[in-house]
Amino acid sequence: MKMWAGRLREPLDAGFERWQRSFGFDRRLLGEELAASRAYARALERAGALAAPETKTILDGLDRLEKKAAEEPAWLDASEAEDVHHFAELGLVELVGEVGSKLHTGRSRNEQIATDLRLYVRRQLGEIRGRLADFIEVFLARAGGLGRTAMPAYTHLQRAEPVLAAHWLLAYAEMFFRDAERLADCAKRVDALPLGSGAVAGAPLALDRAALARELGFAQISANSLDATSDRDFALEFLHGLGFVALHLSRWAEELALFSTAEYGFVRLPDRFATGSSALPQKKNPDALELLRGKAGRVLGAATALAFVLKGLPLAYNKDLQESQEPLFDAADTVAGSLAVAAGFLGAVEFDRERMQAAAQAPFLNATAAAGYLAARGVPFRQAHAAVGQAVVYCLEKSKALETLTLDELRRFRPEFDKDFYDALKLEAVLAAHDVPGGTAPARVEQALAEAKRRLESLRADALRVKEPSAHA
């Protein structure tokens, strides 16, 4: 029997009944539903709505329900429950009798799903941040292993200046550190308990909501029952946070895919994360990277889908909100899986250090250093820039490099060129010249790596502090 069947004279259309059920996807919230129900049972006892023996029976029944669901997946598969709340109520009554139905006293599914989703998002925030920490750790390990290996940095997909390969990897670590920080900030808005809000106007019982919040690990209770039961902005914010993770994964995957091509040749794809071609026997395809790139659209689309669900809803709860769950679950699953694959790939990929180093010394990557040489001798930078640009044109016409020009040739463009110019164009000098915080000078990169390791320790400690319901909740 439906929870609300007393109001209707006719049974639901069979097609509509199947179509509107959510248990197929919201069953994953069963753990959150049971945790909230345990805390609510004790709150009912404190409010005088349950006798102590009834509370014990209900709590024992919830434990049995959880155990049976874990041990007998077919029990869930066979259920005709409308949603996870209906399943929990039916299962509890099946196990302990009608006393189980008293658990719903003063409680609405509107507040139940809001509570379950906040518990779910809070747990996912901890898990995703933990996976980000794992991924960042691989970046730092690979950066440390590359030592003084240099590579070209690119602007407009053209070689610009040499940087340490470790500096390049740390650039991505910075992106993922920011993603973890955004998710931590999102947790502040998640950390408010809706339970006790009732269907729309607040619970009709003298519930100790502060005690409920403590048991379930929330920092505060929601301030308004209309808002608490009807908004999913916390979930949308979480999805936007996941969107940034997916976006940065996509950028990284794109660059690795490019660098794996024969045209670049900086990385060699690990067999464990590549596939072949059914038609082209010579191929090794970067499928892992391509899927990471493609799945970003799926995650970003989830945020858009939820935003469109929310944008036109009047207060308070509307059934449209059921459509918030699948995008949320799918995006969380996608990002968690993507981070695991990305970390495995990065740990296994081979860097062709010789090719990277050679590319870093290709002609004209030291052109900016040449302009800097002139500027250090009093030439206004725009004039220095123009002179080096003219020298580059000359080199291209003569099939030369800047460092192979004679002093007489150089002084055609500026008289300030001198013998020490050639040392200034050596790769080591070019790298060392960028001696500022955040720059690619080797000493600065070593400092950045050490600081990143310290930040990683802090991130790990913070991710482990994600609050879960107390052991007796």
Question: Which of 85, 108, 277, 472 is the catalytic position?
Answer: 277
CA separation for the pair 384, 367 (Å, rounded): 10
Please give the Cα distance from 461 to 184 (Å, whole number): 12
CA gap 405, 391 in Å, rounded:
9
260 is catalytic: no
The Cα 237–Cα 462 span in angstroms is 19
Compute the distance between CA of residue 408 and CA of residue 414 in angstroms, rounded to an integer.
10
Q: Which among 371, 418, 366, 365 is positioned nearest to 390, based on CA atoms?
A: 371
- Given a contact cutoff of 8 angstroms between Cβ atoms, the answer to whether 324 and 136 are in contact is no
Structure tokens, 16: 């509509």
Structure token pair of residue 82: 């409308």
| Unique residue bearing structure tokens 């993603």 | 179
156 classed as catalytic: yes
DSSP 8-state code for residue 324 = G
Instruction: Tell how strand 158-164 and strand 150-155 pair up.
Output: antiparallel
Q: Which residue out of 37, 101, 156, 278 is catalytically annotated?
A: 156
The crossing angle, in degrees rounded to 10, of helices 84-96 and 109-145 is 110
The answer to whether the CB of 445 falls within 8 A of the CB of 164 is yes
Which two tokens mark 281?
Answer: 């026997």
Q: Is 267 helix (H, G, I), strand (E, B) or coil?
A: strand
Backbone angles phi, psi at 334, to 5 degrees: -65, -45
What is the residue type of 356? M
Q: Tell me which residues are annotated as active site.
A: 156, 277
